[in-house]
Amino acid sequence: MNNWKNFTKGFIKENPVLIMLLGCCPTLGTTTSAINGLSMGLATTFVLVCSNIVISLIKNLIPDKVRIPSYIVVIASFVTVIDLLMQAYLPGIYETLGLFIPLIVVNCIVLGRAEAFASKNGVWASCVDGLGMGLGYALALMILGAVREILGSLSIFGWQFIQADGILVFVLAPGAFFGLAYFIAVVRRFNK
C-alpha cells in the first residue's frame, strides 16, 4: 500500500516537472517532439532507479560530509553507462538526444530524490520511488513534447497528419516556455 503511494505520487501529486519544477532545463530543451521527450524521460528514469537503489544500499557507509560528492559520482557513472549504451544500441535516438544525456548528471530530480528519499529509505522503497518519479517525469515530457510537436510541426510521434507548416514558435525555445506554463496551469487547476 505504502509502496503504491510511493509509486503513484510521482505522476501527479509530486510530479517532478509540473509540481516540484525540478529539471526544467532538459524539459525545455528536449521536448521538441513526443519521441524525444519520452526517450529523455526514460533515460532519466533509468538513472533515477539505478542511483536510488545504489544510494539506499550504501547510505550508511558514507560519512555525512562527503555524501553529495559520493552521490554525484554514483549518478554520473550511471549517466555515462546509459550514454554509452544508447550510442551502441539506440543510435537513432542518441543522435537527437546525445547532447542532453550528460546533463542528466546535473538534473535536480536525480540528486533531489537521492538526498530526499533514497538516503533515508530502504532499497525497495527507493527503487519504487525512482521508478514512479522517473515515469512521471517521462509522462510530463512526452505530453509536453506531443503538444509542441502537434502545434509546431503538425505531426505526432513523427507521423505528419497535415501536410503544412505548423506554428513555428512552438518548435523553438519560447514555445517550450509557453507549453510548460499552460501545462502547469492546467494541472494546478485540477490538482486542487
Partner 1 sequence: MAKKQSSLINMVLTLFVITTVAAVALGFVYYFTKEPIDNVKKEKLANALKEVLPEFDSITAKDKIPFEWDKKLDTVPVFKVSKGDTQVGTAVEVITHKGFGGDVKLLVGFDNDGRIFGYSVLEHKETAGLGSKMGTWFNDTARQSSYVKGRDLKDYKDGIKVSKDDKDGIDAITAATISSRAFCDALNKAYAVYVNTVGSCVSTDTLIIKDDLKCDTLTNVSTIRKTDENSIEVTFKEEGGQDNE
Chain positions contacting partner 1, by CB under 8 A: 32-33, 36, 58, 60-66, 69-70, 73-74, 76-77, 80-81, 84-85, 87-89, 91, 95-96, 99, 149, 152-153, 165-166, 168, 171-172
Shorter beta-carbon distance to partner 1: residue 20 or 83: 83
**Of 12 and 90, which has the nearer Cβ to partner 1?**
90
Amino acid, res. 124: W
Name the minimum Å distance from CB 94 to partner 1.
9
In terms of CB distance, is 91 or 102 closer to partner 1?
91
* Sign of CA pseudo-dihedral 10, 13, 18, 24: negative
In angstroms, what is the minimal distance from the CB of 55 to partner 1?
A: 11
Task: Please give the grid coordinates belonging to residue 98.
Answer: 546525445
* Minimum CB–partner distance for residue 105 and partner 1 (Å): 12
CA dihedral 148, 113, 10, 34 (to 10 degrees): 20
- Amino acid identity of 139? L
User: How far is residue 16 from each of residues 4, 24, 77, measured CA to CA in Å?
Assistant: 17, 9, 22
Query: Which sign does the torsion angle of CA 78, 81, 87, 90 carry?
Result: negative
Contact 4, 10 (CB under 8 A): no
Beta-carbon neighbour count of residue 138 at 10 Å?
22
Q: What's the closest the beta carbon of residue 142 comes to partner 1, in angstroms?
A: 15
Residue 63 CB, nearest approach to partner 1 (Å): 4
Looking at the Cβ atoms of 81 and 185, the one nearer to partner 1 is 81
Tell me whether residue 132 or residue 166 sits nearer to partner 1 (CB atom).
Answer: 166
How far apart, in whole angstroms, are the C-alpha atoms of residue 79 and residue 175?
A: 28
